[in-house]
Amino acid sequence: MNLNNRRKFFKKVIAGLVSFSIAPKIASEASTLEIKKRAEVPYFTNGFKIAEVDSNTTMLWTRLCSQAEPNPVRHERIDKVFRHPIDFDENQEVNKMDGAVGGAEGMVRALVKDERGGTVFTSDWEETLPANDYTAKIPIKDLKSGHAYQIILEAKKRGSNEVNIEKGSFSTAPGKNDKVPVVLTTSTCQYFWSFDEKTRGFHTYDSMAKLKPDFFVHTGDYIYYDKPGPLAKNFEKARHKWHAMNGWPSLRDFFKNVPIYMIKDDHDLLKDDAYRGKGPYGDLTFQDGVKLWYENVPIEDKPYRTVRWGKDLQFWMVEGREYRSPNDMEDGNEKSIWGKEQIDWFTKSVDESDATFKLLFTATPVVGPDRDGKKDNHANSNFKHEGAWLRRYLSAKKNMFVVNGDRHWQYVSKDLETGLMEFGSGPVSDFHVQGWDAEDVRPEHQYLNLIGGFLSIEVDRKLGKPKISFKHRDVYGKEMHEESFIG
Ligand SMILES: [Fe+2]
């Protein structure tokens, strides 16, 4: 019996035992089976992430799993995003849901090898427990800048020597004086039910992998708690959303070899246009959302941070949810999306930077244009004060650009007042496109396209001078639009 069939067999037997009264003989068989089941080695079904890479460190994230594959997609959807999957029972057991992946208690550690195959770092064994949804975070330290490394993750049951392994690779950020080319990709907004196809998930991830980017920035809405299939109104369903997303093979494969930085937005924190004080979503409070976020995103210290990547690139990732004023507060000098502490950190570090090109990654737009009715970001009327200040500040910096998520269409815009350029990556998949009319081309628009996909950004010195290129691509990686600038 292969592993899968054996698992199905165990499941059947155990399910049978639950539904009938348990005779002593069968009970003892069941406990033997349970022991065997428990002895199975944990799986890496939710993959792992190489996160927060800088020149000397990274943070690995993983979740140990009790099943080798996620539950298959069994339901059909109607041809419109965010609608209920047909006949999907919101109240069924979570472990029966499409995309579900059970967790497993166990131990996990990481080995890091250099290019010659020598082990340069061995982490402690970390225990995975139900309290953290069987996730683990493994800090890796003392690496060399601009070096390629291999990662081997090992998972086992406590007290066992039998391990499952998962392998990956990455390079650390080069030093601040190193003139090296950079390729990165970025995208936003992915909803489990917006998949391109039922087995691998999203084409965008497979297409990004072909470019072999140095890293990937996800600008928010990694999952959607407040969209059906299920609506995640409690911890169990909220965690399920992470499991289902991280279970797509296209993501699992991509993250093996491409480091990620994640920025949170409203839907992967709690609900639409979330801010502290807006009220809970079902049983989940804002603080619960924050806990769940950090359970899945291995950031140490502040959620806003900056990374230097060689001589020619520095990028900033800002936090737009944890510190914001209520959206319905009257606009004025006191009203903020970033909060004073973050603004001080941002302006100081940008002022001090001598990188050729500077990128601000933000979940939400700074330039827009956005829908007139929206009241959530710097391009909207209810954050006019901070928005105007920010556009003036950023446009006064040489070679500084905004890259944002949140909006479900691709665009490049140039602020009419300040000339600040903004690149909206658009959502991960075509199915997810909504919210803008293709005919509505405004004076700010340099490019507008109602498609999903991603944005790739390249920095190099092929022509002697540093150059940055922004390429919008469709889900297959085909270039749809390019803007380049010489530093
Ligand atoms: Fe979104």
The model's pLDDT over 452-470, given as tens digits with 9 standing for 90+, comes to 999 999 999 998 999 999 9
Q: How remote is the CA of residue 300 from the centroid of ligand 1, in Å? A: 25
Note whether 345 and 437 are same-domain residues: yes
Evaluate if residue 334 carries a pLDDT over 50: yes
CA quadruple 227, 324, 186, 474: dihedral, nearest 10: 50
Report percent pLDDT > 90 for the chain. Answer: 91
What count of other Cβ atoms lies within 10 Å of the Cβ of residue 395?
17
Tokens found for residue 97: 């849901």
Q: Which domain holds residue 122?
A: 48-67+102-170
Note whether 134 and 31 are same-domain residues: no
Pick the last residue of a domain from 146, 170, 194.
170
Rg of the chain, C-alpha, whole Å? 23
Pick the last residue of a domain from 170, 186, 214.
170
- In the beta sheet, which residues pair with residue 479? 473
Evaluate if residue 3 carries a pLDDT over 90: no
Q: How remote is the CA of residue 223 from the centroid of ligand 1, in Å? A: 9
pLDDT tier, 93 (very low <50, low <70, confident <90, very high otherwise): very high
Pairing relationship of beta strands 48-51 and 126-128 according to DSSP bridges = unpaired
Evaluate if residue 11 carries a pLDDT over 60: no
Q: How remote is the CA of residue 268 from the centroid of ligand 1, in Å? A: 9
End-to-end CA distance of the chain: 62
Distance, CA of 282 to CA of 181 (rounded, Å)? 47
Per the CB < 8 A criterion, the answer to whether 420 and 394 are in contact is yes
Distance, CA of 326 to CA of 375 (rounded, Å)? 10
Note whether 440 and 421 are same-domain residues: yes
Note whether 202 and 223 are same-domain residues: yes
CA quadruple 471, 345, 272, 204: dihedral, nearest 10: 20
CATH number at residue 230: 3.60.21.70
Is residue 62 included in any domain, yes or no? Answer: yes
Report percent pLDDT > 70 for the chain. Answer: 92
Is residue 93 included in any domain, yes or no? Answer: no
Pick the last residue of a domain from 148, 170, 192.
170
Is residue 59 included in any domain, yes or no? Answer: yes
Note whether 146 and 196 are same-domain residues: no
Is residue 77 included in any domain, yes or no? Answer: no
Q: How remote is the CA of residue 217 from the centroid of ligand 1, in Å? A: 15
Note whether 311 and 382 are same-domain residues: yes
Q: How remote is the CA of residue 72 from the centroid of ligand 1, in Å? A: 24
Note whether 198 and 151 are same-domain residues: no
Q: How remote is the CA of residue 81 from the centroid of ligand 1, in Å? A: 11
User: How is 124-138 classified by DSSP, letter by letter?
Assistant: PPEEE-GGGTTEEEE
What count of other Cβ atoms lies within 10 Å of the Cβ of residue 2?
7
Q: How remote is the CA of residue 285 from the centroid of ligand 1, in Å? A: 20
Note whether 154 and 297 are same-domain residues: no
Tokens found for residue 72: 């298959």
Tokens found for residue 223: 């999952």
| Coil vs helix vs strand at 316 | strand
| Coil vs helix vs strand at 98 | coil
Q: How remote is the CA of residue 189 from the centroid of ligand 1, in Å? A: 4
Note whether 11 and 132 are same-domain residues: no
Q: How remote is the CA of residue 357 from the centroid of ligand 1, in Å? A: 27
Is residue 286 included in any domain, yes or no? Answer: yes
CATH number at residue 61: 2.60.40.1930
Q: Say what the pLDDT of residue 40 is.
A: 80
Is residue 89 included in any domain, yes or no? Answer: no
Evaluate if residue 20 carries a pLDDT over 80: no
Q: Which residues of 348-384 are buried (b: 16+ CB within 10 A; e: fewer)?
A: ebbeebebbbbbbbbbbbbbbbbeeebebbbbbebbe
Note whether 121 and 159 are same-domain residues: yes
Per the CB < 8 A criterion, the answer to whether 55 and 314 are in contact is no
Number of domains in the chain: 3
Q: How remote is the CA of residue 221 from the centroid of ligand 1, in Å? A: 5
Is residue 75 included in any domain, yes or no? Answer: no
Q: How remote is the CA of residue 363 from the centroid of ligand 1, in Å? A: 9
Q: How remote is the CA of residue 220 from the centroid of ligand 1, in Å? A: 7
Q: How remote is the CA of residue 391 from the centroid of ligand 1, in Å? A: 23
Q: How remote is the CA of residue 407 from the centroid of ligand 1, in Å? A: 6
- DSSP H or E segment with residue 48: strand 48-51
| Coil vs helix vs strand at 215 | strand
Q: How remote is the CA of residue 219 from the centroid of ligand 1, in Å? A: 10
What count of other Cβ atoms lies within 10 Å of the Cβ of residue 181?
16
Q: How remote is the CA of residue 134 from the centroid of ligand 1, in Å? A: 27
Distance, CA of 403 to CA of 381 (rounded, Å)? 20
Q: pLDDT of 256-310, one tens digit each?
A: 999 999 999 999 999 999 999 999 999 999 999 999 999 999 999 999 999 999 9
Distance, CA of 463 to CA of 483 (rounded, Å)? 16
- The mean per-residue pLDDT over the stretch 72-84 comes to 96
Note whether 140 and 186 are same-domain residues: no
Q: How remote is the CA of residue 188 from the centroid of ligand 1, in Å? A: 7
Note whether 257 and 336 are same-domain residues: yes
Q: How remote is the CA of residue 439 from the centroid of ligand 1, in Å? A: 21
- Ranking 2-6, 60-64, 239-243 by mean pLDDT, the lowest is 2-6
Closest-CA residue to 254 (of 428, 55, 427): 428
Is residue 222 included in any domain, yes or no? Answer: yes
